Structure 1
Amino acid sequence: MRLMVFFDMPMLTAAQRRRYAQFRKFLVKDGYLMVQRSVYSKLAINDAAVAGAIGRLQKNRPAEGLVQVLRVTEKQYATMACIVGNSPDRDEMDTPDELVVL
């Protein structure tokens, strides 16, 4: 199964931007991969791993903002549709050489 973490944090002041960066670094260190700017995903093998990950999220939650966690099966995650527009900062994977296998 997968855990999807969605978060929305204020970034108006330098201190708020620092807390945002610290939370992002925690997510990456804890094994989450960025799906979008404030959406991260992580594999979890069982309910105990999910409970542990949620506990770590609660322990490292930011003082301000909103953090939401969605638990989905791998089959549900695999049905996600990726609709990509013509954005210059995003490249589509169009060859097998660019495929990332997790």
Structure 2
Amino acid sequence: MAVTLSDKAAKHVANYLTKRGKGIGLRLGVRTSGCSGMAYKLEFVDEVSPEDLVFESNGVKVFVDPKSMPYLEGMELDFAREGLNEGFKFNNPNVKDQCGCGESFNV
């Protein structure tokens, strides 16, 4: 299985990379944090690491480190606007529970 981006998320990332003037894609990962155990991390990629797993979704390259992959397998990253707020939404089938604030999760 792969990690994918919705059409809206891919457009948002592509637009940001264009405005930024550099970058080849988006890196997704997890880190230990928060009250539920893990939190997502996102960063723009300028260079590929040899261990990266690389997926392409809606024209955007997605990079995942091998340690994060078991937690992200099958996830879709979406981008949503709700009123005045906008941001990424993590549609992750592996999540068993998440904290009330939505910042961390466990599998």
Asked if Structure 1 and Structure 2 have the same fold, meaning a TM-score greater than 0.5 normalized by the shorter chain, the answer is no
TM-score (norm 1): 0.27
Q: Higher relative contact order by CA 8 Å / sep ≥ 6: 1 or 2?
A: 1
- Greater C-alpha radius of gyration: 1
Higher strand share: 2
TM-score (norm 2): 0.27
Higher helix share: 1
